C-alpha cells in the first residue's frame, strides 16, 4: 500500500550492515527510484566504493554533519520528497541517526526524532525509509525503543510489522527529566520589563567567557535570544535563563510557564509569510542539540553547543 514505510533494520555488525544496505540501495537503483543514504562518513565511503559506477545514482550525505542535531533531519527527507516524490515513483532512503557515537543526551533526542517521523510523514507520498541499528553494539533498551518507534522491522532477512509499535502513543513535549543544571550555573530571571538588549549583553558575556567571538558568539546570542523572546510572547511573560559549561560543551536553557502543542515546531522551516514559529527553528539551526521538556509547571528548552567545534 503506498505511503510512508518507516522500518528499523536490526543488523549484526559492519558486514551485515553492508550486505543488507547495499541490497536495499541496489534495488532502488534497479527500479530507478530516487534513492538517498544519510549515514556516517565511514559508511558513505564504503558504500560508494561498493556501488562503484552506480554510486552516483544514490545521493549520499554525512549524518554526523546533517544530523548532528537530530532536529535537523526531517527537512532533509522533506526535500527528498519535494524534489523527487511528485512523479509517481517511490522514493527510498537509508537514515542512520542512532549509533554508538552518540552521547546519552543526543541518543535520547534521536529516539524522539524517530517517533516524530511517524507524525511528520503520516500523510506523505510513497517512500520507504530504513534506519539501521547495530544489535551487537547498541544497548538492549535502545533496540527495544527502536522496535517501538518503527512500524516495521527488518530482522534476519525478514520484513514484518513491528509488534512493539503503538501508533498514537506519542507524548509531546516529552516529560522525561533533564539533569539539573549545576549549582554554579549563571541564572538570570527576566520579565516583559527586562530589556532584551540587556539579555543579549549577558549572553555575549557568556560567550566571551568561553573564548568565543565573531560568528560563534553571534550564533549563541541569536539562538538563546529567540528562546527568551518566545517566553515573553508565549510562555507567560517571565522565565529563568541559565548558562553553564560542562566539559567540552556550553549549555543554555530557558524555563517558563509555557507549553508547546505542535510536536514538529522547530523541525520544519517556518512559513515565510506567517507569524511566529521561527525561534525554535533558528535554535535548531544554530545549536548542536536542542532539548524540549514539559514540566508540571511549564516548559524547559535547553540548547548545547560544543566548545571545540
Q: Cell triple for residue 240?
A: 529563568
Tell me, what's the pLDDT at 308? 83
Tell me, what's the pLDDT at 272? 75
Quote the CA–CA distance of 266 and 222 in Å, as a whole number. 15
Tell me, what's the pLDDT at 172? 85
- DSSP letter for 185, please: -
Pinpoint the residues of the chain covered by CATH 3.30.565.10. 186-306
Give, rounded to a whole angstrom, the gap between the first and last alpha carbons of the chain.
44
What Rg value do the Cα atoms of the chain yield, rounded?
21
Using alpha carbons, select from 261, 257, 294 the residue that is nearest to residue 174: 294
Could you please report the per-residue DSSP string of 120-135?
HTTT--SEEEEEEEET
Q: What is the pLDDT along the chain (309 residues), one digit of tens a residue?
A: 579 999 999 999 999 999 999 999 999 999 999 999 999 999 999 999 999 999 999 999 999 999 999 999 999 999 999 998 777 789 999 999 999 999 999 999 999 999 999 999 999 889 999 999 999 999 999 999 999 999 999 998 899 999 999 887 788 889 889 999 999 999 999 999 998 899 999 999 999 999 999 999 999 999 999 999 999 998 899 999 999 999 999 999 999 999 999 999 999 988 876 666 689 999 999 999 999 999 999 999 999 999 986
Tell me, what's the pLDDT at 275? 62
Distance of CA 146 to the CA centre of its chain: 15
Q: Cell triple for residue 16?
A: 551485515
Pinpoint the residues of the chain covered by CATH 3.40.50.300. 4-161
Pick the CATH number of 4-161 from 3.90.78.10, 3.40.50.300, 3.20.10.10, 3.30.420.40: 3.40.50.300
Tell me, what's the pLDDT at 168? 78
Tell me, what's the pLDDT at 22? 98
Tell me, what's the pLDDT at 179? 95
**What are the angstrom distances between the C-alpha of 207 and each of 60, 203, 210, 293?**
35, 6, 6, 24
pTM of this prediction exceeds 0.85: yes
Q: Cell triple for residue 36?
A: 538517498
Q: Give the H/E segment covering residue 11.
A: strand 4-11
User: Could you give the 3-state DSSP secondary structure of residue 262?
Assistant: coil
Helix %, strand %, coil % of the chain (to 5): 40, 25, 35
Tell me, what's the pLDDT at 309? 65
For 129, residues 6+ apart whose C-beta sits below 8 A from its C-beta are 4, 5, 6, 7, 77, 92, 93, 94, 95, 117
Helices and strands, counts by H and E, the chain: 9, 12
Could you please report the per-residue DSSP string of 44-106?
HHHHHHHHGGGGGGEEEEEHHHHTSSGGGSHHHHHHHHHHHSSSSPPEEEEE----TTS-HHH
Pick the CATH number of 186-306 from 3.90.45.10, 1.20.120.450, 1.10.3720.10, 3.30.565.10: 3.30.565.10
Using alpha carbons, select from 167, 28, 144, 40 the residue that is nearest to residue 102: 40
Using alpha carbons, select from 302, 298, 307, 249 the residue that is nearest to residue 280: 302
Using alpha carbons, select from 122, 123, 95 the residue that is nearest to residue 36: 95
Tell me, what's the pLDDT at 156? 86
Amino acid at each position: 500500500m503506498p505511503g510512508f514505510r518507516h522500518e528499523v533494520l536490526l543488523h549484526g555488525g559492519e558486514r551485515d550492515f553492508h550486505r543488507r544496505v547495499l541490497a536495499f540501495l541496489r534495488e532502488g537503483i534497479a527500479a530507478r527510484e530516487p534513492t538517498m543514504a544519510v549515514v556516517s562518513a565511514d559508511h558513505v565511503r564504503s558504500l560508494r566504493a561498493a556501488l562503484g559506477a552506480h554510486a552516483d545514482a544514490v545521493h549520499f550525505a554525512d549524518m554526523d554533519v546533517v544530523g548532528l542535531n537530530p532536529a535537523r533531519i526531517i527537512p532533509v527527507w522533506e526535500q527528498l520528497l519535494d524534489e523527487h516524490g511528485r512523479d509517481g515513483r517511490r522514493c527510498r532512503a537509508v537514515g542512520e541517526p542512532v549509533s554508538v557515537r552518540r552521547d546519552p543526551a543526543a541518543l535520547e533526542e534521536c529516539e524522539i526524532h524517530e517517533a516524530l517521523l511517524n507524525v511528520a510523514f503520516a500523510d506523505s507520498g510513497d517512500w520507504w525509509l530504513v534506519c539501521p541499528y547495530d544489535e551487537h553494539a547498541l544497548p538492549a533498551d535502545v533496540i527495544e525503543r527502536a522496535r517501538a518507534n518503527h512500524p516495521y522491522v527488518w530482522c534476519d532477512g525478514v520484513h514484518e510489522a513491528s509488534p512493539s509499535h503503538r501508533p498514537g502513543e506519542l507524548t509531546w513535549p516529552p516529560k522525561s527529566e533533564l539533569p539539573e543544571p549545576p549549582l554554579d550555573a549563571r541564572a538570570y530571571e527576566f520579565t516583559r520589563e527586562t530589556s532584551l538588549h540587556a539579555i543579549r549583553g549577558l549572553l555575549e558575556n557568556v560567550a566571551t567567557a568561553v573564548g568565543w567571538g565573531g560568528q560563534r558568539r553571534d550564533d549563541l546570542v541569536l539562538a538563546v535570544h529567540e528562546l527568551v523572546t518566545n517566553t515573553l510572547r508565549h510562555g507567560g511573560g517571565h522565565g529563568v535563563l541559565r548558562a553553564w559549561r560542562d566539559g567540552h560543551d556550553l549549555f543554555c536553557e530557558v524555563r517558563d510557564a509555557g507549553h508547546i502543542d505542535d510536536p514538529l515546531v522547530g523541525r520544519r522551516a517556518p512559513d515565510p509569510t506567517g507569524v511566529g514559529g521561527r525561534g525554535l527553528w533558528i535554535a535548531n539551526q544554530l545549536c548542536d542539540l536542542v532539548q524540549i521538556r514539559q514540566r508540571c509547571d511549564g516548559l524547559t528548552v535547553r540548547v548545547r553547543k560544543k566548545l571545540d567545534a
